[in-house]
Amino acid sequence: MSKFQLLACHIVVAGNKDSVTVRDATNPVTYPELLVLRAVHGGEQNVHTVVAVGVSDERANMVEFQRLLSKYGTNPAQANTVRNLFPQIGDTVQMRLADEKFPTAEEVEEGNKAAAEARKAVRSKKKTKPKPKPQPKAAPKSGAGETASTAVPARDDLPT
């Protein structure tokens, strides 16, 4: 018997960014289901914002495999995807239970709080810092007795 990692995520259906399904903590996916969704919908870019929200009740890998087949196996290509992702050897299905790289909901919340505090601190520094006033440009100084001239000197060697 196994306990599967439960995950919340956003699913961009068939690559259409106007069609996003959110699976939250009230309707999470298992880790193996996440792998199926990524295979069906085009990878990590289309199944993203993954957050660990808990673990499932204990069940056999074969029960999870059958659940995924019944849910995604109505389409023959998707049924093959499920079978290819989780090889079956006799009555045993090889299946990863979890991936620890996904943050927990608590970690995401703490990160959001820290980011908000950092933004607030940066913005308060910007408000209190006076902007330096521009300095007037000084006119170029010329030496004593010199006059500035932009005339081109005449050349005596040119034919007329």
Domain ranges of the chain: 5-107
The two beta strands, 47-55 and 5-12, are: antiparallel
Work out the average pLDDT over 19-37. Answer: 94
Angle formed by the axes of helices 61-72 and 31-41, nearest 10°: 30
> What average pLDDT does range 20-39 have in this prediction?
94
Which pTM was predicted? 0.69
Look up residue 99 and give its two tokens.
């991936």
Q: In Å, how far are 4, 25, 100, 160 from 59, measured between CA atoms?
A: 8, 19, 20, 106
Q: How far apart are CA 135 and CA 145, in angstroms?
A: 28
* Per-residue pLDDT tens over the stretch 111-145: 888 988 888 888 887 765 566 777 777 666 655 55
Query: Is pLDDT at 34 greater than 70 in this prediction?
Result: yes
What is the pLDDT averaged over residues 92-106?
A: 89
